[in-house]
Amino acid sequence: MGSLDETILRTAKEITVKFIEMGRISPVMFPENFKMIYQAVNETIKTAQEDTPEPEPPASEKKKPGKLSRHIKKK
């Protein structure tokens, strides 16, 4: 299990336990509620990752033009 999956699991568990402590859900209903909360957290995080663009590499890692590319005329 990857670090992200562990974080999603831990977050869903903490939310579910907090709802039980607040009396919003019954401990008897833990399995059903945990499953719904886990799916919501998982979906939210995975969707946010897809929507986040890849960061550009630092300038030191960017490919520098070669000698030949300086002589090619751009249209």
User: Which of 70, 31, 75 lies closest to 12, judged by CA?
Assistant: 31
Q: How many domains does the chain have?
A: 1
Do the domain assignments include residue 58?
no
pLDDT tens digit string along 10-58?
999 999 999 999 999 999 999 999 999 999 999 999 888 887 777 777 7
Q: Which domain holds residue 29?
A: 3-51
In a domain, 44, yes or no: yes
Residue 71 pLDDT more than 60?
Answer: no
Give the model confidence (pLDDT) of 59-70 as tens digits.
Answer: 666 666 566 555
Which residue has 């992200």 as its token pair?
A: 4
In this structure, is residue 56 part of a structural domain? no
Residue 70 lies in a domain: no
Better pLDDT: 7 or 55: 7
In this prediction the pTM is 0.64
